[in-house]
A and B are shown apart, each in its own frame.
Chain A
Amino acid sequence: MENSKIIDLVKKISKNRDELAFSEIFDFISPKINAYYIKNNLSNEQAEELTQEVLSTIWTKAEFFNPEKSKFTTWSFTIARNKKIDFHRKNKRNDVNEEDIRDFLYENNKSDDYEIESTINKITEELDQNQKKLIKMSFFEQKSHKNIATELEIPLGTVKSRIRATLSKMQKHI
């Protein structure tokens, strides 16, 4: 879906609680969110439960989406990621809602979309396919170093040193 169309739909949700606009956003983003949870080893049932929570947050907090700060998909991803972290925290404390803290940090971040995009472009040009794959497996799919080693059939020490080397390559640009 075109970025301008998404922005328009989210505006309709935040201003008029437009259910039709929300249904379009739902059709666009819910399969990605659901797939993200399944990729992260959640059961189909858990994935749908969390997807529902993310979509409910999008409905209630649509006014917090700032298109100058990030793309809608990035905003949705951070909500989905935060819900997943919260889901996995073994000992949930009543006094600390980590999701609130993460929302707060996101809302108060001063970086703009253009600046971020140019940095991301530099990083993606710099990394080769294997390095991108390692970052994806370790940080996006949250696979343990041990599981990555098994999956890629390389020694554990190599996984660790390659991830470290990739991060240090990335940090030249950030």
Chain B
Amino acid sequence: MNTSTQKNELIFGYASGNLGEAKSLFTSMYLFLNGAAAKKSSIFDNLLAEDFNKLEGIKPNKLKFSDCIKTTKDTEVPIRNKNLVSPLSKIIGDIGNINWKSVYKGFKEFSIPVYDNDSVKLIQMDPGTSVPLHSHNGKEYILVLEGSFCDEYGEYNKGDIQINDQKIKHNPTACKNDGCICLTITENDVVFFGKFGSILNLFTFIKSFFK
């Protein structure tokens, strides 16, 4: 789990535009919060630009340079994207104002509308709240936006991601001081284990009809 290769696949996929809308949003937030990841993305951009440099040019047939010069009105001082608080805020607005749906005590979620088969959710866990031991039928991607959580594999802080596949069973717990807000993508349903596992799986099964 969580191997650099999987993280890099996201970063490289984003750089080349190969990702669907859900993973593209997820990765843009990852690059926004994590300087090391942004640096990798930039290196990959530059690597692809090497291929661009080597391209043998094909002169456009009709296009002239004057067609590309916009009118004076259009060329008044361009606005830098300083107002972009985060890629996510472009979609959901202020995270403080969203309408959370309570799943159980201390655990809330909010589904982000995307045109994609993968579902993207925001998850808020109060300090010390846990998710029962579970695995996944597909991959699960978790990016910490605020606070931190820990599980059997370590502690994850703001800007860290965890990528889990079918082989991984884990029991994430929000940190005791701040809790956490995470952005998650699940490719398929969650499979719970332990004492209440079968009840939770039945609940997930029923819920899948209302997706």
Contacts and interface: CB of A to CB of B under 8 A. Distances in A.
A and B co-occur in one complex: yes
Interface of A: 17, 19, 22-23, 26-27, 30-32, 34-36, 38-39, 44, 47-48, 51-52, 55-56, 58-61, 63-64, 70-71, 73-74, 76-78, 80-81, 84-85, 88-91, 93, 95-98, 100-111, 116-117, 119-120, 123-124, 135-136, 138-140, 142, 164, 167-168, 170-171, 174
B55 A36 contact: yes
B51 interface: yes
B43 A116 contact: yes
Interface of B: 4-5, 8-9, 12, 15-18, 21, 24, 28, 31-32, 35, 38-53, 55-63, 65-70, 74-75, 78, 80-81, 84, 87, 90-91, 115
A61 B46 contact: no
A120 B69 contact: no
Contacts of A26: 65, 68
B74 A60 contact: yes
A39 B58 CA distance: 10
B144 to A, nearest CB: 19
B47 A123 contact: yes
Contact of A140 (B40, B48, B67, B87): B48
B38 A105 contact: yes
Contacts of B32: 105
B17 A85 contact: yes
Contact of B16 (A32, A103, A140): A140
Contact of B60 (A34, A61, A108): A34
Contact of B68 (A56, A63, A123): A56
